[in-house]
């Protein structure tokens, strides 16, 4: 299992240099997500076609965890089909609830950097904001 500073580096990198934080005018699914308990706000923008997530981006503001988590999520789902994204989403939520085993956590790649959040109840809503917004967005399709 990688050590804590490795996880910290992943989160810092996604927070300081988010690859997917930009407007996406071609998006055909756009949904706001808000976490009032911390003040995190995001707008998730996806371009979906024939069951695939062709493009994805977000804009918004919030704490480091909320912003890094949505950037990592987009990294993993862009170019994938919706079913893959749903599986990833369920797995991530299981990890955050402390229910995923080591093999499952490993499958989450960089998102596993958020594994310790399961022990920090106050930060859970920050970590899941982007993923819950994704879930809602996919349910609208
Ligand atoms: Zn937050």
Distance from the alpha carbon of residue 49 to the mean position of ligand 1, in angstroms: 31
Distance from the alpha carbon of residue 18 to the mean position of ligand 1, in angstroms: 16
Measured CA to CA, the distance from residue 123 to residue 139 in angstroms comes to 25
Distance from the alpha carbon of residue 62 to the mean position of ligand 1, in angstroms: 6
How many residues are given for the chain? 141
Domain boundaries, the chain: 4-139
Model-level pTM?
0.95
CB-based contacts of 51: which residues, under 8 Å, 6+ apart? 81, 82, 83
Q: Tell me, what's the pLDDT at 5?
A: 85
Distance from the alpha carbon of residue 122 to the mean position of ligand 1, in angstroms: 9
Distance from the alpha carbon of residue 77 to the mean position of ligand 1, in angstroms: 22
Contact 28, 46 (CB under 8 A): yes
Could you name the CATH architecture of 4-139?
Alpha-Beta Complex (3.90)
* Successive 10-residue mean pLDDT values, the chain, 141 residues: 81 95 98 97 97 98 97 98 97 96 96 92 95 95 82
Residue 128 C-alpha from the chain's centroid: 7
DSSP assignment string, 53-64: EEEEEEEEE--H
């Amino acid at each position: 299992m990688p050590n804590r500073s490795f996880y910290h580096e992943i989160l810092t990198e996604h927070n300081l240099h988010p690859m997917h934080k930009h407007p996406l005018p071609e998006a055909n699914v756009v949904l706001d997500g808000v976490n009032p308990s911390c003040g995190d706000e995001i707008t998730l923008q996806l371009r979906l076609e024939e069951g695939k997530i062709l493009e994805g981006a977000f804009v918004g503001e919030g704490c480091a965890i909320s912003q890094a988590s949505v950037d990592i999520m987009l990294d993993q789902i862009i170019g994938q089909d919706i079913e893959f994204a749903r599986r990833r989403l369920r797995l991530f939520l299981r990890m955050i609830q402390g229910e995923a085993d080591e093999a499952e956590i490993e499958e989450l790649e960089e998102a596993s950097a958020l594994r310790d959040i399961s022990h920090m109840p106050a930060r859970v809503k920050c970590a899941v904001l982007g993923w819950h917004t994704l879930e809602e967005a996919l349910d609208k399709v």
